[in-house]
Amino acid sequence: MMLSDRYREALNLTFELHRTQERKGSGVPYVAHLLGVSSLALEFGADEDGAIAALLHDAVEDQGGAPVLARIERQFGSKVASIVEACTDNLEEPKLAWRPRKERYVAHLAAAPPAVQLVSACDKLYNLRAILADYRAFGETVWQRFSGGREGLLWYYGALAQAFGSETPIAQEFQRTWSELQRLLANGKI
């Protein structure tokens, strides 16, 4: 599949919206995460709409809510906008508390269309890989970066593992990565 100028336009919008953000506790430009999620989506079979949605999956949640979602729909169409909206765990202000927000998000994944599950799994796999690498590098202090803390994040990624299942290649890769983190935690070795 060849990517069109729409993908380049999505890259531009991604940069515009997220250029001043950094990943929690790392100093890495947030755009790196979005590029990584889009790359995973393409590697695991997304079409161009899915790859664009992967670039923009955090735009609504982090950079402007409903007006940004409307802009995405105008610029990239309803399919991209619907994937982005389904990958957004909160459109309300003020945001729900962390745990109820994550519970609601996990619950909706079971009935989500395959394109949504793919983008979500790519996002969560990218994050899980980063947590695993940071755990190896920094040990237990890694959990201090996150609102849910150690117990909350372990619950969340376990619930995601159940929601994604193991039927698709991306879900299988998520399961392998989740199992590796669990193994390290169980052994108490970094």
Separation between Cα atoms, residue 130 and residue 119, nearest integer Å? 17
Q: How far is CA 110 from CA 48, 104, 120, 164, 167, in A?
A: 23, 11, 12, 8, 13
Q: What is the pLDDT of residues 119-137, one digit of tens each?
A: 999 999 999 999 999 999 9
Residue 189 has pLDDT above 80, yes or no: no
What is the model's pLDDT at position 18?
95
Between CA 94 and CA 167 the distance in angstroms is 36
The dihedral through the CA atoms of 122, 125, 131, 134 has a sign that is negative
60-101 confidence digits (pLDDT tens)? 988 889 999 999 999 999 999 999 999 998 887 777 889 999
Domain count, the chain: 1
0.75 exceeded by the pTM? Answer: yes
CB neighbour list of residue 125: distance below 8 Å, 6 or more residues apart: 40, 170, 173, 174, 177
Whichever domain contains 80, its CATH number is 1.10.3210.10
Say if residue 94 is preceded by a cis peptide, omega within 30 of 0: yes
Do the Cβ atoms of 126 and 23 come closer than 8 Å? no
Q: What range does the domain containing 60 cover?
A: 5-187
Q: Within 10 Å of residue 2's Cβ, how many Cβ atoms?
A: 5
State the first-to-last Cα distance of the chain, in angstroms, to the nearest integer: 40
Per-residue pLDDT tens for 57-68? Answer: 999 988 889 999
Looking from the CA of 14 toward its CB, the CA atoms found within 13 Å total 26
Residue 112's pLDDT is: 95
SS3 62: helix
Residue-averaged pLDDT of the chain: 93
Coil, strand, or helix at residue 29?
A: strand
Tokens describing residue 126: 């990218």
Give DSSP secondary structure letters for 127-163: HHHHHHHHHHHHGGGGGGGSTTHHHHHHHHHHHHHHH
